[in-house]
Amino acid sequence: MAAAPLACRPPASQSASPTASPRADGLQRMKQSGTMRVGYLEWEPCVYRPDGAGEFIGIFVDMTKEIAQTLNLKIEWVKTDLASFTKDLVDGKMDFCVGPTFMTLPRATRVQFTQAVAYIGNSGVVRRGSVLAPRTWDALAQPGIKIAVLRGQAMDTYAKRAFPKADLLVLPGDDLEAPLDAASNGRADIGLSNTVTVLRYLEKDSNVEAVFVGTDEQMDILPICWSTAPGDDALLRFLDSTISYFKSTGRLKTLQANYPIKLLYDTPPLHAE
């Protein structure tokens, strides 16, 4: 059955767009070439392969396939990572990126972000029985505490700003569990990552326990957005319209029901000072 047309257009203010001169129309390029090049990072439940091979599945994969069906396009999946997806967009290696990636202010100066598809906070793990059992984020702002973060990930930026006295272990690569592994094997006192990754990690590693996982404890609750190169305004508007369509028609809720890990699709409560 053909997918319904994607027509709703949200207010332009819902998207983050860096100042840039107009760029070649990515939407027109995709139509002319018959292919849309979609950047991705493997992360359940958005884009992943259950056995590490074969066809991609996930909420964002399902959304992308409906877009391709509507436009009668083929999909070319382009692997990227947190440290380089903005450069890959600017260099024209992909038409748009579904990530999943957080929208942060530094990233928004380099690429354009759509409205939020979902929201996720950040949490941490410590070794069971560790002398470090933080109950507030301020407890991490002490000298000598080694905090593991992933280079380019939201907690990398946040930790440098919020915990200047801490000893940061900034890990390379695109493995979101790497900081958690560092806490588990004793290389760090605490490993920070997004809350979905933290909760999934607990299922396979009994050596650690989670901290800051409550709704009112998570830090840096950030929007997960799709992104385009700066200046590609027509494609950005189309993707915003697409996301509005999936939300308002209930398609996003239907797709989410196919996956056990649930995302937050409404704006979370603001934290009181």
Omega of the bond leading into 134 within 30 degrees of 0 (cis): no
Name the pTM for this structure: 0.73
Burial group, residue 236, by CB count within 10 angstroms (0-12, 13-18, 19+): buried
Q: Do domains 13-118+222-256 and 120-219 have the same CATH topology?
A: yes
**Peptide bond preceding 45 in cis form (omega within 30 of 0):** yes
Pairing mode of beta strands 146-150, 190-194:
parallel
- For the domain 13-118+222-256, what is the CATH code? 3.40.190.10
- pLDDT digits 0-9 by tens, 116-133: 999 888 899 999 988 777
Banded pLDDT at 7 (limits 50, 70, 90): very low
Split at pLDDT 50, 70, 90, the class of 266 is confident
The identity of residue 184, as a single letter, is S
d(CA 112, CA 114): 7
Looking at domain 120-219, which CATH architecture does it have?
Answer: 3-Layer(aba) Sandwich (3.40)
Rounded to the nearest integer, the mean pLDDT of the chain is: 87
List the domain boundaries for the chain.
13-118+222-256, 120-219
Q: In this predicted structure, what is the pLDDT of residue 10?
A: 41
